[in-house]
Amino acid sequence: GAGVSQTPSNKVTEKGKYVELRCDPISGHTALYWYRQSLGQGPEFLIYFQGTGAADDSGLPNDRFFAVRPEGSVSTLKIQRTERGDSAVYLCASSANPTGSQYFGPGTRLLVL
């Protein structure tokens, strides 16, 4: 079956702009995760959804970052007033159950100029 998909693949924006990143999890997966990966580092946790609700958003760096999953499937990560330091690869993962194996999408490469 289809894996996790993310759009866009690449996003270039200017400092101060608003961006939305989309994640389509594997069909039937109830748990969805967002991570951020900077060059040369491992992915860092941002937020976790179980169904429609954010079960843990303690990894979001500040209040410019927000994520939703209104119907318990697709999720959108929203970044307001982007800063150059937000440039990174944003990864989405899903799992069939909360403690199960997580499967990652290809990521969105965000560049803030």
Rounded to the nearest angstrom, the gap between the alpha carbon of residue 90 and the centroid of all alpha carbons in its chain is: 5
Give the shortest CB-16-to-another protein separation in angstroms. Answer: 27
For another protein, the closer of residues 15 and 48 by Cβ is 48
Minimum CB distance to another protein smaller for 66 or for 104? 104
- The answer to whether residues 33 and 8 touch, using CB atoms and an 8 Å cutoff, is no
The contact set with another protein (CB under 8 A) reads 31, 33, 35, 41-48, 50, 55-56, 59, 89, 91, 98-104, 106-107, 109
Q: Of the candidates 3, 2, 9, 38, which has an alpha carbon nearest to the alpha carbon of residue 107?
A: 9
